[in-house]
Amino acid sequence: MGISKRVIVIIGVGILLFTLGRLSPGFAVEFQPIGFEALSMGGAGVAQAKGSFSVYYNPALLAESHKGVEISFSVGTGAREINLVDHIDTLADIDITSTLDRIVDNAPTGSNSTGDRNNITTIKNELRDIAQINGLQLMPTASVGVRMGSIGLGVFGVSEGSAYAVIDSNKLDIIVKKTISGTDQYFKYDEGSDTYSLSTQSEYESKSLEYALNNDLTYLQLTGLAYTEVPLAYACQIKTPLGAVSLGAAIKYMYAITYDNKIKIDTESGEIEDVSKEADKRDDDWGIDVGLLYRPPAIQNLLIGVTAKNINQPEFATIKGNKYKLDPMVRAGFSWELLNKISFAFDVDLTKNDTFLPGYASRYVGGGVNIHPTSWISLRAGLMDNVEESREGVVYTAGIGFGLKWAQIDISGQYSSKSGEYNGQTIPRYGRVQIALVSKWF
């Protein structure tokens, strides 16, 4: 091995060790699987995604093939729902503001309808239930990947748009303010007996749901990040007596849109995506990804890899003047090819990644198998699990690719064993679907 290549390997290992050594629980968007093979194999791609998406999963994989060109186009979407959508849709059907307005109108001696009395009970129950950890995330993707020998480039668009409820659980009493003869008066309403009693301004400000809604103490928070990264990557391989070592790196331009907005707690779930676009900020930065790949001589066709994304911590401004700084994400994995017809792969997140949902972390382990008896068909399946959270359950993954080498269609999906609800439909608590067009010229 030449001196220059030794230096390259030493520098690459040093960068990865430095990245691992400085990791801290900061804001790192979770690793989002894109493309086709890895997504359907339990998200495992660090040592498996040797084609046009290797620049995304691990740029060192580019050194595994020096001939030909592969181009892939993929689009997809994903969603995660935790204890939110069913509750806010129920509140939207009731319309909290209109219900409370009628309670105010009838104070202090009037009577309220049976419907409004039942609505008050439902509002309290729904807000108590939603006060636990909750959230909705929408995660669309659109990507183009190109591999030309040891060079890779792409346009990878990923998004993590989130909504979660902030509930002041100390302010759920129905205490309303009404101006009578020019004086503000306060009344506490009991929906069980349909009666009002006198209250005070102090009690109103410390316990009233109306006060919490009017002063942004109970609301839906919309936040998130959508970014497009345009990387250019290169990898080289060095032969050693202990096996082949590949080092890859990518420098990427990143254009991002950040979201930050507060909306009414009873906004329908189907309107969240549109409303989130009303408070966005656009910014750009540069990012650096690095990766290593090791092929041990003792076990034929075994690859062991590690990759670190965003090691320079790119950051993007928000509409409120602060910034989202992306901490490095580090993943490791291995793959093994059997008889050139069956591939096994496994990945693990080495970093704990905070999502945009408060208190909800992401650290996935997963793996799968790819059966490809001929060049025109590929059948894949796998499992993955978020070891930091149990609310999703096990995530099942599967995919199929078919067609001629120069034009193949690939469909992949993921769905969790536990269910949630979005826009009135029962859906997996976590799920993704992806379709890709793949063209190989070698």
DSSP string computed for 25-56: S---PPPPP-SSHHHHTTT--TTT--STTHHH
Check whether 16 has a pLDDT greater than 60: no
Is 176 in contact with 210 (CB distance < 8 Å)?
yes
Cis preceding-peptide flag for 108 (omega within 30 of 0): yes
User: Distances from the Cα of 214 to the Cαs of 119, 180, 209, 265, in angstroms?
Assistant: 19, 20, 9, 11
**pLDDT band at 112; cut points 50, 70, 90:** very high
**Distance (Å, whole) CA 76 – CA 412:** 9
pLDDT tens digits along 273-329: 666 666 689 999 999 999 999 999 999 999 999 999 999 999 999 888 888 899 999
Q: Read off the pLDDT of each residue in 367-382 and give the average, rounded to a whole number.
A: 95
Is 349 in contact with 365 (CB distance < 8 Å)?
yes
Check whether 201 has a pLDDT greater than 90: yes
Is 157 in contact with 137 (CB distance < 8 Å)?
no
**pLDDT band at 440; cut points 50, 70, 90:** confident
User: Distances from the Cα of 62 to the Cαs of 55, 255, 277, 375, 422, in angstroms?
Assistant: 7, 24, 37, 20, 39
Check whether 25 has a pLDDT greater than 50: no
Cα distance between the two ends of the chain: 29
136 versus 23: the higher-pLDDT residue is 136
Check whether 392 has a pLDDT greater than 70: yes
The reported pLDDT for the residue numbered 77 is: 95
The reported pLDDT for the residue numbered 375 is: 84
How much of the chain exceeds pLDDT 90, in percent? 75
Where is average pLDDT lowest: 21-30, 63-72, 380-389?
21-30
Average pLDDT score, the chain: 90
User: Distances from the Cα of 392 to the Cαs of 38, 92, 289, 313, 362, in angstroms?
Assistant: 20, 26, 29, 29, 11
Q: What angle do CA 238, 243, 249 make, to 5 degrees?
A: 40
pLDDT tens digits along 34-84: 988 999 999 999 999 888 999 999 999 999 876 789 999 999 999 999 999
What is the total residue count of the chain?
Answer: 442
User: Phi-psi bin for 307: left (phi > 0), alpha (psi -120 to 50), beta?
Assistant: beta
Where is average pLDDT lowest: 19-33, 138-152, 309-323?
19-33
Nearest Cα residue to 244 out of 296, 289, 312, 176: 296
The token pair that represents 133 in the structure block: 């950890």
The reported pLDDT for the residue numbered 359 is: 87
The reported pLDDT for the residue numbered 27 is: 54
Reduced to 3 states, what is the DSSP secondary structure of residue 426? strand
**pLDDT band at 137; cut points 50, 70, 90:** very high
pLDDT tens digits along 405-427: 889 999 999 999 998 776 667 88
Check whether 397 has a pLDDT greater than 60: yes
Where is average pLDDT lowest: 27-36, 135-144, 309-318?
27-36
The reported pLDDT for the residue numbered 24 is: 44
Check whether 21 has a pLDDT greater than 90: no
**pLDDT band at 393; cut points 50, 70, 90:** very high
The token pair that represents 311 in the structure block: 């090691």
The reported pLDDT for the residue numbered 203 is: 97
Is 170 in contact with 128 (CB distance < 8 Å)?
no
**pLDDT band at 28; cut points 50, 70, 90:** low
CA 286 remoteness from chain centre: 21
Which residues share a beta bridge with 256? 227, 283
Domains and CATH numbers, the chain: 3-81+139-159+224-261+269-441 (2.40.160.60), 85-131+168-214 (no CATH)
User: Phi-psi bin for 151: left (phi > 0), alpha (psi -120 to 50), beta?
Assistant: beta
The reported pLDDT for the residue numbered 13 is: 47
Nearest Cα residue to 143 out of 134, 133, 131, 152: 152
| Residue 337 host element (H or E) | strand 329-338
**Distance (Å, whole) CA 353 – CA 363:** 6
Residue 95, burial from CB neighbour count under 10 angstroms (0-12, 13-18, 19+): middle
| Residue 318 host element (H or E) | none
Calculate the dihedral angle through the C-alpha atoms of 267, 272, 278, 284, rounding to the nearest 10 degrees.
150
Q: Read off the pLDDT of each residue in 8-30 and give the average, rounded to a whole number.
A: 50
Q: What angle do CA 183, 186, 189 make, to 5 degrees?
A: 145
